[in-house]
Amino acid sequence: MNGIKILGTGRGVPSKLVTNEDMAKIVDTNDEWITTRTGITHRHHLAEGETITDMTVLAARRALENAGISADQIGACIVATLTPDTLVPSAACCLQRELNLPHDTVCFDLNAACTGFLYALHTMECLLNASERKYGLVIGAENLSRITNWKDRGTCILFGDGAGAVVVECRPEWPSISAILGCHGTDQMLRVPGVEKGVPSLIYMEGTKVFKFAVEAVPYCIDQVLAKTGKTVDDVDFFVFHQANARIIDLAVKKYHIPQEKYYKNICEYGNTSAASIPLVISELHEMGKVGPGSRVLIVGFGGGLTWGGAMIEFA
Protein backbone atom coordinates (compact mmCIF):
# COMPACT_ATOMS: atom_id res chain seq x y z
CA MET A 1 0.00 0.00 0.00
CA ASN A 2 1.22 3.49 -0.86
CA GLY A 3 2.05 5.59 2.17
CA ILE A 4 1.08 9.03 3.44
CA LYS A 5 3.11 11.86 4.91
CA ILE A 6 2.14 15.08 6.72
CA LEU A 7 2.31 18.26 4.64
CA GLY A 8 0.74 20.77 7.01
CA THR A 9 -0.76 21.18 10.46
CA GLY A 10 -3.18 23.50 12.24
CA ARG A 11 -5.28 23.80 15.37
CA GLY A 12 -8.32 25.56 16.75
CA VAL A 13 -8.61 26.15 20.49
CA PRO A 14 -11.44 27.85 22.42
CA SER A 15 -10.62 31.20 23.99
CA LYS A 16 -12.19 30.32 27.36
CA LEU A 17 -9.43 29.23 29.75
CA VAL A 18 -10.41 27.20 32.81
CA THR A 19 -7.83 26.96 35.59
CA ASN A 20 -7.57 24.51 38.47
CA GLU A 21 -8.66 27.36 40.72
CA ASP A 22 -11.80 27.65 38.62
CA MET A 23 -12.41 23.92 39.03
CA ALA A 24 -12.09 24.30 42.82
CA LYS A 25 -15.13 26.59 42.71
CA ILE A 26 -17.20 23.81 41.12
CA VAL A 27 -16.13 20.66 43.01
CA ASP A 28 -14.14 19.82 46.13
CA THR A 29 -10.59 19.93 44.74
CA ASN A 30 -7.53 22.16 44.56
CA ASP A 31 -4.64 22.98 42.27
CA GLU A 32 -2.12 20.74 44.05
CA TRP A 33 -4.44 17.72 44.01
CA ILE A 34 -5.11 18.04 40.28
CA THR A 35 -1.56 18.87 39.22
CA THR A 36 0.19 16.10 41.15
CA ARG A 37 -2.21 13.41 39.91
CA THR A 38 -2.67 14.49 36.29
CA GLY A 39 -0.19 17.19 35.30
CA ILE A 40 -3.09 19.47 34.30
CA THR A 41 -3.10 23.16 35.24
CA HIS A 42 -5.45 24.57 32.57
CA ARG A 43 -7.95 23.42 30.01
CA HIS A 44 -9.91 25.26 27.29
CA HIS A 45 -13.70 25.05 27.06
CA LEU A 46 -16.03 26.23 24.33
CA ALA A 47 -17.85 29.39 25.35
CA GLU A 48 -21.52 30.08 24.75
CA GLY A 49 -22.14 30.21 21.01
CA GLU A 50 -18.91 28.43 20.03
CA THR A 51 -19.12 25.07 18.26
CA ILE A 52 -17.10 22.07 17.14
CA THR A 53 -17.54 23.33 13.58
CA ASP A 54 -15.88 26.63 14.50
CA MET A 55 -12.82 24.79 15.80
CA THR A 56 -12.57 22.29 12.95
CA VAL A 57 -12.86 25.01 10.32
CA LEU A 58 -10.12 27.06 11.98
CA ALA A 59 -7.81 24.06 12.38
CA ALA A 60 -8.42 22.81 8.84
CA ARG A 61 -7.90 26.21 7.21
CA ARG A 62 -4.65 26.67 9.07
CA ALA A 63 -3.49 23.20 8.04
CA LEU A 64 -4.37 23.82 4.39
CA GLU A 65 -2.54 27.14 4.41
CA ASN A 66 0.45 25.57 6.15
CA ALA A 67 0.55 22.79 3.54
CA GLY A 68 0.07 25.12 0.60
CA ILE A 69 -2.89 23.04 -0.57
CA SER A 70 -6.25 24.37 -1.79
CA ALA A 71 -9.62 22.95 -0.77
CA ASP A 72 -10.33 21.64 -4.28
CA GLN A 73 -7.30 19.33 -4.06
CA ILE A 74 -8.71 17.39 -1.10
CA GLY A 75 -9.91 13.88 -1.88
CA ALA A 76 -11.19 12.87 1.56
CA CYS A 77 -11.96 14.45 4.92
CA ILE A 78 -12.31 12.60 8.23
CA VAL A 79 -13.18 14.16 11.58
CA ALA A 80 -12.37 11.97 14.56
CA THR A 81 -14.81 12.95 17.31
CA LEU A 82 -17.34 11.62 19.78
CA THR A 83 -18.91 15.07 20.34
CA PRO A 84 -20.12 16.50 17.00
CA ASP A 85 -22.48 19.46 17.06
CA THR A 86 -25.12 17.24 15.46
CA LEU A 87 -25.27 13.50 14.83
CA VAL A 88 -26.56 14.33 11.35
CA PRO A 89 -25.06 16.12 9.51
CA SER A 90 -21.65 14.90 10.61
CA ALA A 91 -18.89 17.28 11.67
CA ALA A 92 -17.04 16.35 8.47
CA CYS A 93 -20.04 17.26 6.29
CA CYS A 94 -20.33 20.60 8.09
CA LEU A 95 -16.64 21.15 7.42
CA GLN A 96 -17.12 20.30 3.73
CA ARG A 97 -19.75 23.02 3.52
CA GLU A 98 -17.63 25.66 5.25
CA LEU A 99 -14.44 24.89 3.28
CA ASN A 100 -16.32 24.38 0.01
CA LEU A 101 -14.65 21.03 -0.57
CA PRO A 102 -15.63 19.35 -3.87
CA HIS A 103 -18.95 17.54 -3.67
CA ASP A 104 -17.33 14.20 -4.49
CA THR A 105 -15.02 14.47 -1.47
CA VAL A 106 -15.47 11.53 0.90
CA CYS A 107 -16.45 13.13 4.24
CA PHE A 108 -17.44 11.37 7.45
CA ASP A 109 -16.92 11.27 11.21
CA LEU A 110 -15.09 8.48 13.01
CA ASN A 111 -15.51 7.62 16.69
CA ALA A 112 -12.76 5.60 18.36
CA ALA A 113 -12.70 7.91 21.40
CA CYS A 114 -9.18 9.02 22.33
CA THR A 115 -7.64 6.73 19.68
CA GLY A 116 -9.81 8.31 17.00
CA PHE A 117 -7.12 10.36 15.30
CA LEU A 118 -4.96 7.26 14.81
CA TYR A 119 -7.88 5.29 13.40
CA ALA A 120 -8.62 8.21 11.10
CA LEU A 121 -5.02 8.43 9.85
CA HIS A 122 -4.99 4.76 8.90
CA THR A 123 -8.43 5.05 7.29
CA MET A 124 -7.25 8.08 5.32
CA GLU A 125 -4.21 6.17 4.07
CA CYS A 126 -6.54 3.49 2.72
CA LEU A 127 -8.95 6.02 1.17
CA LEU A 128 -6.26 8.03 -0.60
CA ASN A 129 -4.88 4.87 -2.19
CA ALA A 130 -8.22 4.62 -4.00
CA SER A 131 -8.75 8.35 -4.58
CA GLU A 132 -7.93 10.33 -7.72
CA ARG A 133 -7.04 13.31 -5.52
CA LYS A 134 -4.15 12.33 -3.27
CA TYR A 135 -4.52 14.90 -0.49
CA GLY A 136 -6.56 14.33 2.66
CA LEU A 137 -7.70 16.25 5.73
CA VAL A 138 -7.61 14.45 9.07
CA ILE A 139 -9.01 16.32 12.08
CA GLY A 140 -9.39 15.38 15.71
CA ALA A 141 -11.93 17.59 17.50
CA GLU A 142 -13.84 17.41 20.77
CA ASN A 143 -16.29 19.38 22.89
CA LEU A 144 -15.89 17.24 26.00
CA SER A 145 -17.04 20.01 28.32
CA ARG A 146 -20.54 19.41 26.95
CA ILE A 147 -20.62 15.79 28.15
CA THR A 148 -18.65 16.22 31.39
CA ASN A 149 -20.27 15.24 34.67
CA TRP A 150 -19.64 18.36 36.75
CA LYS A 151 -20.56 16.54 39.95
CA ASP A 152 -17.79 13.94 39.53
CA ARG A 153 -14.62 15.47 40.96
CA GLY A 154 -12.53 12.58 39.65
CA THR A 155 -13.33 13.19 35.98
CA CYS A 156 -14.57 16.75 35.47
CA ILE A 157 -11.07 18.10 36.19
CA LEU A 158 -9.59 16.14 33.28
CA PHE A 159 -11.30 17.21 30.10
CA GLY A 160 -10.86 20.06 27.66
CA ASP A 161 -12.04 21.12 24.20
CA GLY A 162 -10.02 21.67 21.05
CA ALA A 163 -9.26 20.65 17.47
CA GLY A 164 -6.12 19.70 15.61
CA ALA A 165 -5.74 19.02 11.88
CA VAL A 166 -3.21 17.63 9.45
CA VAL A 167 -3.08 17.64 5.66
CA VAL A 168 -1.57 14.43 4.32
CA GLU A 169 -0.48 13.34 0.86
CA CYS A 170 -0.30 9.81 -0.56
CA ARG A 171 2.53 8.78 -2.91
CA PRO A 172 3.68 5.39 -4.26
CA GLU A 173 7.28 5.76 -3.07
CA TRP A 174 6.34 6.65 0.52
CA PRO A 175 6.20 4.00 3.27
CA SER A 176 2.95 3.04 4.96
CA ILE A 177 2.39 4.46 8.44
CA SER A 178 2.35 0.84 9.65
CA ALA A 179 -0.63 1.40 11.90
CA ILE A 180 -1.30 -0.97 14.78
CA LEU A 181 -4.94 -0.76 15.89
CA GLY A 182 -7.03 -2.79 18.28
CA CYS A 183 -10.00 -2.88 20.63
CA HIS A 184 -11.51 -4.76 23.52
CA GLY A 185 -15.22 -4.04 23.69
CA THR A 186 -16.32 -3.11 27.19
CA ASP A 187 -18.46 -0.38 28.74
CA GLN A 188 -17.42 -1.12 32.31
CA MET A 189 -14.45 1.26 32.61
CA LEU A 190 -15.32 4.11 30.28
CA ARG A 191 -18.57 4.99 28.55
CA VAL A 192 -20.90 7.75 27.40
CA PRO A 193 -24.57 6.64 27.16
CA GLY A 194 -26.36 7.41 23.92
CA VAL A 195 -29.21 9.81 23.27
CA GLU A 196 -32.52 9.08 25.02
CA LYS A 197 -31.19 6.06 26.91
CA GLY A 198 -32.80 7.07 30.19
CA VAL A 199 -29.56 8.32 31.73
CA PRO A 200 -27.56 11.49 31.01
CA SER A 201 -25.14 11.34 28.07
CA LEU A 202 -22.15 12.15 30.28
CA ILE A 203 -18.69 10.64 30.67
CA TYR A 204 -18.47 7.76 33.11
CA MET A 205 -14.94 6.56 33.87
CA GLU A 206 -13.24 4.37 36.44
CA GLY A 207 -9.96 6.24 36.48
CA THR A 208 -7.78 3.65 38.24
CA LYS A 209 -8.78 0.85 35.88
CA VAL A 210 -8.32 3.05 32.80
CA PHE A 211 -4.88 4.09 34.08
CA LYS A 212 -3.84 0.44 34.42
CA PHE A 213 -5.10 -0.29 30.90
CA ALA A 214 -3.18 2.69 29.51
CA VAL A 215 0.18 1.82 31.07
CA GLU A 216 -0.05 -1.59 29.40
CA ALA A 217 -1.40 -0.35 26.06
CA VAL A 218 1.27 2.31 25.45
CA PRO A 219 4.34 0.03 25.54
CA TYR A 220 2.45 -2.63 23.59
CA CYS A 221 1.78 -0.15 20.79
CA ILE A 222 5.35 1.16 20.79
CA ASP A 223 6.77 -2.37 20.61
CA GLN A 224 4.40 -3.37 17.81
CA VAL A 225 5.09 -0.31 15.66
CA LEU A 226 8.87 -0.60 16.07
CA ALA A 227 8.70 -4.30 15.18
CA LYS A 228 6.49 -3.69 12.16
CA THR A 229 8.72 -0.91 10.80
CA GLY A 230 12.02 -2.51 11.74
CA LYS A 231 13.03 0.64 13.60
CA THR A 232 14.46 1.29 17.05
CA VAL A 233 13.82 4.04 19.58
CA ASP A 234 16.92 5.81 18.27
CA ASP A 235 15.43 5.87 14.74
CA VAL A 236 12.42 7.87 15.94
CA ASP A 237 12.76 11.65 15.86
CA PHE A 238 9.77 12.33 18.12
CA PHE A 239 7.26 10.42 20.22
CA VAL A 240 3.73 11.80 20.43
CA PHE A 241 1.47 10.34 23.10
CA HIS A 242 -2.23 10.82 23.72
CA GLN A 243 -2.35 13.42 26.49
CA ALA A 244 -4.51 11.68 29.10
CA ASN A 245 -2.27 11.84 32.14
CA ALA A 246 1.29 13.09 32.56
CA ARG A 247 2.20 10.05 34.65
CA ILE A 248 1.31 7.65 31.82
CA ILE A 249 3.69 9.50 29.51
CA ASP A 250 6.40 9.62 32.17
CA LEU A 251 6.24 5.84 32.65
CA ALA A 252 6.68 5.23 28.91
CA VAL A 253 9.55 7.71 28.70
CA LYS A 254 11.30 5.97 31.60
CA LYS A 255 10.76 2.48 30.19
CA TYR A 256 12.19 3.32 26.75
CA HIS A 257 14.82 5.82 27.94
CA ILE A 258 13.38 8.47 25.64
CA PRO A 259 15.45 11.68 25.90
CA GLN A 260 13.64 14.87 26.85
CA GLU A 261 14.17 16.42 23.43
CA LYS A 262 12.19 13.57 21.81
CA TYR A 263 8.83 13.88 23.54
CA TYR A 264 6.41 16.63 24.52
CA LYS A 265 3.59 17.15 26.99
CA ASN A 266 0.94 19.84 26.60
CA ILE A 267 -1.60 18.27 28.94
CA CYS A 268 -0.84 21.04 31.45
CA GLU A 269 -2.41 23.54 29.06
CA TYR A 270 -5.22 21.55 27.40
CA GLY A 271 -6.13 18.66 29.68
CA ASN A 272 -7.42 15.49 28.03
CA THR A 273 -8.97 16.46 24.69
CA SER A 274 -9.60 12.87 23.52
CA ALA A 275 -9.29 12.62 19.71
CA ALA A 276 -7.89 16.15 19.50
CA SER A 277 -4.91 15.58 21.79
CA ILE A 278 -2.48 13.97 19.33
CA PRO A 279 -3.03 16.45 16.46
CA LEU A 280 -2.81 19.34 18.95
CA VAL A 281 0.63 18.10 20.00
CA ILE A 282 1.72 17.59 16.39
CA SER A 283 0.56 21.10 15.45
CA GLU A 284 2.45 22.70 18.33
CA LEU A 285 5.62 20.72 17.62
CA HIS A 286 5.45 21.71 13.95
CA GLU A 287 4.93 25.37 14.79
CA MET A 288 7.89 25.32 17.18
CA GLY A 289 10.12 23.74 14.56
CA LYS A 290 10.70 20.57 16.58
CA VAL A 291 9.36 18.46 13.68
CA GLY A 292 9.42 19.19 9.98
CA PRO A 293 10.44 17.78 6.60
CA GLY A 294 11.97 14.34 7.06
CA SER A 295 10.94 13.96 10.71
CA ARG A 296 9.84 10.47 11.72
CA VAL A 297 7.15 10.54 14.43
CA LEU A 298 5.81 7.59 16.42
CA ILE A 299 2.31 8.30 17.72
CA VAL A 300 0.43 6.31 20.35
CA GLY A 301 -3.19 6.55 21.48
CA PHE A 302 -5.58 4.71 23.79
CA GLY A 303 -9.09 5.30 25.03
CA GLY A 304 -12.71 4.29 25.30
CA GLY A 305 -13.95 1.21 23.55
CA LEU A 306 -11.50 0.14 24.78
CA THR A 307 -9.30 1.11 21.83
CA TRP A 308 -5.58 1.51 21.25
CA GLY A 309 -3.28 2.29 18.36
CA GLY A 310 0.17 3.27 17.19
CA ALA A 311 1.72 4.41 13.91
CA MET A 312 4.90 5.80 12.40
CA ILE A 313 4.34 8.82 10.20
CA GLU A 314 6.79 11.17 8.55
CA PHE A 315 6.70 14.80 7.50
CA ALA A 316 7.09 15.47 3.78
Q: Rounded to an integer, what distance in angstroms lies between the CA atom of residue 52 and that of residue 84? A: 6
Query: Would you call 45 a catalytic residue per the annotation?
Result: no
**Catalytic residue selected from 20, 66, 111, 272:** 272
CA-nearest of 261, 238, 240 to 249 is 240
Which residue among 44, 122, 242, 286 is the active-site one?
242
Q: Check whether the bond before 101 is cis (ω within 30° of 0).
A: no
Per the CB < 8 A criterion, the answer to whether 275 and 305 are in contact is: no
What DSSP letter does each residue of 71-118 carry, written as one string? GGGEEEEEEE-S--S-SSS-HHHHHHHHHT--TTSEEEEE--GGGHHH
Whole-angstrom Cα distance, residue 210 to residue 6? 31
Q: How far apart are CA 245 and CA 40, in angstroms?
A: 8
Angle of CA points 222, 111, 207, to nearest 5° = 65
Tell me, yes or no, if 272 is annotated catalytic: yes
Among the listed residues 77, 93, 94, 114, the single catalytic one is 114
Q: Are 201 and 194 in contact (CB under 8 A)?
A: yes
Dist CA 59 CA 258 (whole Å): 29
Is 286 catalytic? The answer is no
Contact present, 245 and 303 (Cβ < 8 Å): no
Catalytic positions are 114, 242, 272
